[in-house]
């Protein structure tokens, strides 16, 4: 998923979303019939998802692909003021 704004300069956020599963089960005695899968014994639902951490990029100009350099904001131990 990508989120951005309409401005030429600004931020683009990207998230990777992984989906997997078995959403439907065939109904054994009914031709052409399906139902939403649900494991009664384990309570498992039909789908599993994982959202990876957000990646944020800053741009001077998106139309010219001028990305600003990444800045490391971590403070070294003992140097905080």
| pLDDT value of residue 78 | 60
CA–CA separation, 79 and 71 (whole Å) = 17
Domain residue ranges of the chain, discontinuous segments joined by +: 1-16+53-73, 17-51
CA–CA separation, 24 and 42 (whole Å) = 17
pTM for this structure?
0.54
Tens digit of each residue's pLDDT (9 = 90 or more) over 1-55: 888 888 888 899 999 998 887 767 788 888 888 887 777 677 777 777 899 999 9
């Amino acid at each position: 998923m990508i989120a951005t704004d309409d401005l030429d300069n600004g931020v683009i956020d990207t998230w990777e979303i992984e989906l997997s599963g078995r959403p439907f089960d065939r109904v054994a005695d009914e031709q052409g019939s399906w139902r939403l899968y649900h494991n009664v014994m384990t309570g498992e639902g039909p789908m599993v998802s994982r959202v990876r951490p957000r990646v944020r990029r800053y741009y001077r100009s998106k139309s010219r692909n001028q990305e600003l350099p990444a800045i490391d904001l971590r403070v070294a131990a003992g140097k905080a003021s």
